[in-house]
Amino acid sequence: MITSYKRGYKIIWYKNRWIYADNKESIKIERPCIRCGRMPTEEGYDACLGKLPNVKFACCGHGIEERSIMYDR
């Protein structure tokens, strides 16, 4: 079984689509971050980080992984 995480929630690849492991709903249904409890911004950023200048990608880790930042160079 292929598994991953989305905003701290475990997700699984099932019948050619990603679903939440706990209730089998599509991951297209947005959930708040497990760590901070906030929904992503309209642009899709982690709300606790907001929009960061000169950053291509950033993730708060959602209580599962370490935070990460990829700078736009």
pTM of the model as a whole? 0.78
How confident is the model at residue 24, as a pLDDT?
A: 97
Residue with the larger pLDDT of the pair 72 and 12: 12
At residue 18, the pLDDT reads: 97
Convert 19-58 into a string of H (helix), E (strand) and C (coil): EECCCCCECCCCCCCCCCCCCCCCCCCCCCCCCCCCEEEE
Sequence-ordered list of residues with C-beta below 8 angstroms from that of 48, at least 6 positions apart, any chain? 33, 35, 36, 38, 60
pLDDT digits (tens, 9 = 90+) for 1-60: 899 999 999 999 999 999 999 999 999 999 999 989 999 888 888 888 888 889 888 888
Q: Do β-strands 17-20 and 9-14 pair in parallel, antiparallel, or remain unpaired?
A: antiparallel
